[in-house]
A = this chain, B = another copy of it.
Amino acid sequence: MPMHDPIDRYPTRVLHTPGLLDRPDPVIWGSDADPEILGFGSRGYLHRAGAISPDTAARCLAEIDRIEHDPDLRDDERTVREETGEAVRSVFDIMNLSTIVADAVEESGAAHLARRILGSEVYVHQSRLNHKPGFVGGAFYWHSDFETWHAEDGMPAPRAVSASISLTANETYNGPLMIVPGSQRVFVQCRGATPPDHHHESLVTTTPRIGTPSESAVAELVAAHGIDVITGPAGAMTVFDSNVLHASSGNISPLERANIFVVFNSVENRLREPFAADAPRPRHLAAR
């Protein structure tokens, strides 16, 4: 049965008309007053060029090609393919599948930033590779990561950050990350109960129905804050708040897009029972 915590401060997957709730928790949990950290607090993300070297990015790309074609991982649940065709969309648990990728994350300094932002030690909640091939890469619709992690993984508060490390150039036209700056301060409730084993659908489809903000909520936040399109060369890193509204468009350009995606959660924010789902998701989606 769903365990609706009586003191759940982020109720979602509701059956009534969903609302926009003021975030009761801070964005910056530590006392670091560095301008880069303060900027993260106001915009919900920070961006660093050259977080990893071009060599490291190239080694990770090659590693990924190896993993994508590894027959042992062909039917592994950690490998998610495009709705149409064979192209790999995501490989989960990538830091355990590849020491080269784990080393690249270390090189990026993401964990150090996460500790400064979250004001505590951190652990890896999830790591994955996203690969959006040229011509056929599907979109990721607008969402807050925390909404899913709260509802389906039992993450109590948005005391987590994601690091996206680019292995290819992100141009405006090849499906870059789009962020609604400032939206991290608003928790967008989503409508509808979580079906059993929802992740089988939600990680594949480009148009998920559950855990998706209403169009009116997205329109209201974009009208208030605009959209930042995050572009840059391979090796750049974007660290963003777990609750900031983001998306990426489809990619019909010939340029593929690949990035490493790592989520750091505060050790003071460990997972509990899901807040709005029958059972926790597998460990490769949410480490416990």
Smallest CB-CB separation from A247: which chain B residue?
Answer: B252
Chain A residues within CB distance 8 Å of chain B: 134-135, 139, 141-142, 171-173, 175, 178, 215, 218-219, 222-223, 227, 229, 247, 249-255
Given A135-B215, A172-B172, A229-B173, the answer on whether A222 and B252 have CB atoms closer than 8 Å is: no
Inter-chain contacts of A255 with B (CB < 8 A): 222
Q: Which residues of B contact A134 (CB under 8 A)?
A: 215, 219
Residue in contact with A250 in the complex, picked from B142, B171, B227, B249, CB distance below 8 Å: B249
On whether the beta carbons of B173 and A227 are closer than 8 Å, the reply is: yes
A254, B215: Cβ atoms closer than 8 Å: yes
Which of B222, B250, B252 is close to A253, meaning CB atoms less than 8 Å apart?
A: B222
Q: Which residues of B contact A254 (CB under 8 A)?
A: 215, 218-219, 222-223
Complex alpha-carbon distance, A222 and B171, angstroms: 13
Bound-state Cα–Cα, A215 to B249, Å: 19
Q: Cβ of B139 and Cβ of A252 under 8 Å apart?
A: yes
Given contacts A139-B252, A172-B172, 11 further A-B contacts (CB under 8 A): A135-B215, A171-B227, A172-B229, A173-B229, A173-B249, A215-B254, A222-B253, A222-B254, A249-B249, A249-B251, A249-B252
Q: Give chain B nearest CB distance to A232 CB in angstroms.
A: 14
Q: Across the interface, name the chain B residue whose C-beta is closest to A215.
A: B135
B139/A250 in contact, CB under 8 A: yes
Task: List chain B residues, Cβ under 8 A from A218.
Answer: 135, 254
Shortest Cβ distance from residue A78 to the other chain B in the assembled complex, whole angstroms: 27
Q: List 29 A-B contacts (CB under 8 A).
A: A134-B215, A134-B219, A135-B215, A139-B250, A141-B252, A142-B252, A171-B227, A172-B172, A172-B173, A172-B229, A173-B178, A173-B227, A173-B229, A173-B249, A175-B249, A178-B253, A215-B254, A218-B254, A219-B254, A222-B253, A222-B254, A222-B255, A223-B254, A227-B253, A249-B249, A249-B250, A249-B251, A249-B252, A250-B250
In the complex, what distance in Å separates the CA atom of A253 from the CA atom of B179? 11
For A175, the chain B residues whose CB sits under 8 A away are 249
